[in-house]
Chains A and B, each alone.
Chain A
Amino acid sequence: MSHFKKILLKSKIDLPMLLIGISILFFALIFLLINYSLKHFLLLSIGWGFGFILFHSAFGFTGSWRNFINERKGNGIRSQLLAIGLAMLLIIPFIGNESFFGSTMVGAFGPVGISVITGSFLFGLGMQLGGGCGSGTLYTLGAGNTRMLITLIFFILGSLLGTLHLSWWLSLPSFGVVSLSHYMNTLSILIFQGILLSIIAMVTIYYERKGEKNISTIYSKTSTSFFKVLVFGNWPLLWGSIAIAMLSIATLFIAGHPWSITFAFGLWGAKIASQIGIDVSQWEYWKGSYQSHALQRSILNDSVSLTNIGLLLGAFIASNLSGKSNSKINISLLPIFAAILGGILMGYGARLAFGCSIGALFSGIASGSIHGWVWLGFAFAGSYCGIKLRPYFGL
């Protein structure tokens, strides 16, 4: 018996579900290649990669921030800082150049003002109640967490409401877009932001040491073979950081913009609202060139939607490879309320803040935009409040 067969037999793969997942992915990729283009095919593939990596490395903002606040365990945060640092090395120098498909590559920039401050705080609060951030909601839903379906439905509703009110929020005091590229050259931005990321990492180590615990690491060697870990999961966080950074760079080069999640939720909400007779095209937000174009065309023409759909499928396939059991649904009423409230807060907050932990924090900082740093500070404060509220919701 071959080594590969032995591993397969020993693993707890949910084979029927795995085959369904792979079949859906395969047909979706072929459909895109025939009816759309290679770019669409690649974007779905990248999304699939994100879902696979996020699940196998358990890479998430919500849980790791909670681990740090509650238990002073900072390895999750440090893995995120590493991913952002690696991504910015190839994102900032290439902004303004031509992508593989001919468009100009743009960064994720947002204004520094009341809108982003309020939105990021609400998002941080919501992600602790909802149980996941933008990427976290998608990958845990894809992996079979039913409560996250409730979170996602209300995330979409909140995003739609956010698009309705965004113009009012933007009329409040703001410094406008503050890009570091206006003040320093590319090398200086990389060094400056690298120092800031390192300082935050050092702060997490300081607090972890204060708790008189061993410092949690982002990499530990295991006796399990590389292939087995790669396919069936339980990746070290270091692998996740490197892979996420590489795929986010690939997103920029293919889509022409950095990795984003929550724009698609607003779009999906707007599409559904249009179907039930609400003319969202008259809302200020949907009059913008990118937004109106996305609204008019099929969801399959929206790069963010494509990566999100791929992410769901990637997590679904990864969870079935890992042998995650198909457990019975067991959700009580209070956590459902938390999912509803968390979803609405995250959706509304993400629109006000020009993105979630991916679109604003990850891609914002990796683009050299100050709003990404502002997002980090206020979302962390919101998360702290959200963590304190969790017990009231039975979480």
Chain B
Amino acid sequence: MILFLFKKLKREKNITLLFLILLFVLIALDHIKEKNYININLEEKNHNEHQEGDSPCGM
């Protein structure tokens, strides 16, 4: 089994797929963490996350 997996991980696209799966697991954990620890009231939930005058790359 381990040998089979090792063999598979020698291929480039399989590494990309593994990365994508890992990324989605981390995103799911982040999503659950937000749901558990941040008490979002309805007003905030409906509020758009984009604040006026703010840009991710700009100032």
Interface residue ranges, A against B (CB under 8 Å): 14, 17, 20, 24, 28, 35, 39, 99, 101-104, 106-111, 141-146, 149, 177, 255-258, 260, 262-264, 271, 288-290, 293-294, 296-304, 309, 312-313, 316, 319-320, 324, 326-329, 354-355, 359-360, 363-364, 367, 369
Give the docked Cα–Cα distance between A301 and B33 (Å): 13
B18-46 at interface with A (beta carbon < 8 Å): 19-20, 23-24, 27, 30-31, 33-34, 38
Q: Which residues of A contact B56 (CB under 8 A)?
A: 257, 260, 263-264, 290, 294, 303-304, 359
- On whether the beta carbons of A293 and B48 are closer than 8 Å, the reply is no
A-B pairs, top 9 by smallest CB distance, nearest first, are: A359-B57, A263-B56, A355-B57, A290-B54, A144-B13, A298-B34, A326-B13, A103-B50, A256-B50
CA gap between A369 and B49 in the complex, in Å: 24
If A109-B59, A256-B48 are given as contacts, then 4 extra A-B residue pairs at C-beta distance below 8 Å, sorted by A number, are A24-B20, A101-B48, A320-B13, A328-B10
Task: Give the interface residue-count category, chain B.
Answer: 20 to 34
The CA of A388 and the CA of B15, in the complex, are separated in Å by: 30
Asked if B57 and A354 sit within 8 Å, CB to CB, the answer is: yes
Bound-complex Cα distance A264 to B34 (A) = 17
- Quote the shortest CB–CB distance from B37 to chain A (angstroms): 10
Query: Chain A contacts of B59 at CB under 8 A?
Result: 109-111, 177, 354
| CB pair B50 A329 closer than 8 Å | no
Task: Spell out B's residues near A (CB within 8 Å).
Answer: 10-17, 19-20, 23-24, 27, 30-31, 33-34, 38, 48-59
Contacts of B57 in A (CB 8 A): 108, 110, 257-258, 260, 262-263, 354-355, 359-360, 363-364
Minimum CB–CB distance for B35 against chain A, Å: 8
Q: Name the distance in Å between A25's Cβ and chain B's nearest Cβ.
A: 10
B50 touches A146 (CB 8 A): no
Chain B residue nearest to A301 in the complex (CB): B49
The answer to whether A149 and B15 touch across the interface, beta carbons within 8 angstroms, is: yes
A61 to chain B, nearest CB (A): 16
Question: Once the chains are docked, how many angstroms separate the CA of A35 from the CA of B53?
Answer: 27
Q: For the complex, what is the distance from the CA of A145 to the CA of B11, rounded to whole Å?
A: 10
Given contacts A106-B54, A256-B50, A328-B11, contact A24 B30 (CB under 8 A): no
Q: B49: which A residues are within 8 A, CB to CB?
A: 293-294, 297, 301-303
